[in-house]
Every structure is written in structure tokens, then in C-alpha cells.
């Protein structure tokens, strides 16, 4: 199990593999972000996207899938997150793209009010199969300290 004490500032981690399908892009868009460039090839061709693209919010959801799988693979004593900062969608994500993540730990801080836990900030970058940056954000995570 990885605890607060095990986190190393500056550590970089590469993880994840998520192939984006057209069906999933359309389903997510219909349900959560029904803009024409997420739903119609004809309408998307009239925009700077050129073709149907995934919603940025869908990209966030696919990223979360990879983050949680990575946490389970490394048995992290995570306690959730109070939020993210500086979310940016750098390039469109298209059906057929394969996404992956890279994170770097920026800082860690023991909790003043909850001695059994701490927080950490890290940058998370998402790349497609061409190593093009498609999304980035700074995450804030909560994590247990090692039991005494």
C-alpha cells in the first residue's frame, strides 16, 4: 500500500491505455454534451474540429478511468480529491485515438486538522497515440498517512 510518506516530490509516472470509440463518443455526447460537433460528421466538418470529436468532459471521464485503474494497480491509500485546477483541453480527441497519462508529483502537505492524512498536488497530462498533448490539469489528492 502506498501512503503519504511514500510519495516522492518530482516523481513521474506514466500509465493508462484507453482507446476512444465512436459509439462511446456519440453516447456520451447525446447524454451529457449534445453539441453538433460531438454528434454529427456533417456538422463537425463545418467546424475547426473537421470531424466528430469527443467532448472535453468525456476526455476527463476517460482520464479518470485510467487514474483509478492506476491507483488500484499501485494500491494507493487514496481518500478522494477536493478538486482540480488549471484544466486545459489542448487538442481535440477523436474516435480511434488511444490515450495515456503522465503525472508528476509537485508537492505534498500533511493535514493540520486531520493528522491521519495529507494532501498532494500533481500535474497530469494526457497524450494521444502520436504523443500529442490533448489535456492537462493540476490535481489535488487526499491520502492516508501510514498507520502507527
Task: Tell me the percentage of the chain whose pLDDT exceeds 90.
Answer: 90
pLDDT at 73 over 90: no
Q: Is the pLDDT of residue 82 over 90?
A: yes
Domains of the chain: 4-144 (3.10.129.10)
Tens digit of each residue's pLDDT (9 = 90 or more) over 14-63: 999 999 999 999 999 999 999 999 999 999 999 999 999 999 999 999 99
What pLDDT, on a 0 to 100 scale, did the predictor assign at position 75? 79
pLDDT surpassing 80 at residue 74? no
Per-residue 3-state assignment (H helix, E strand, C coil) for the chain: CECHHHCCCCCEEEEEEEECCHHHHHHHHHHHCCCHHHHCHHHHHCCCCCCCCCCHHHHHHHHHHHHHHHHHHCCECECCCCEEEEEEECCCCCCCCEEEEEEEEEEEEECCCCCCEEEEEEEEEEECCCCCEEEEEEEEEEEECCCC
Residue 148: per-residue pLDDT: 81
Amino acid at each position: 500500500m502506498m501512503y503519504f510518506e511514500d510519495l516522492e516530490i518530482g516523481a513521474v509516472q506514466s500509465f493508462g491505455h484507453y482507446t476512444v470509440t465512436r459509439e462511446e463518443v456519440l453516447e456520451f455526447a447525446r447524454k451529457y454534451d449534445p453539441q453538433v460537433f460531438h454528434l454529427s460528421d456533417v456538422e463537425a466538418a463545418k467546424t475547426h474540429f473537421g470531424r466528430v470529436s469527443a467532448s472535453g468532459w468525456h476526455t476527463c471521464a476517460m482520464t479518470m478511468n485510467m487514474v483509478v485503474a492506476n491507483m488500484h494497480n499501485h494500491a494507493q491509500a487514496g481518500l478522494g480529491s477536493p478538486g482540480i485546477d488549471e484544466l486545459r483541453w489542448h487538442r481535440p480527441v477523436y474516435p480511434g485515438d488511444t490515450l495515456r497519462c503522465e503525472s508528476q508529483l509537485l508537492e505534498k502537505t500533511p493535514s493540520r486538522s486531520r493528522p491521519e492524512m495529507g494532501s498532494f498536488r500533481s500535474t497530469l497530462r494526457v497524450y494521444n497515440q502520436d504523443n500529442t498533448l490533448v489535456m492537462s490539469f493540476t490535481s489535488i489528492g487526499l491520502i492516508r498517512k501510514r498507520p502507527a
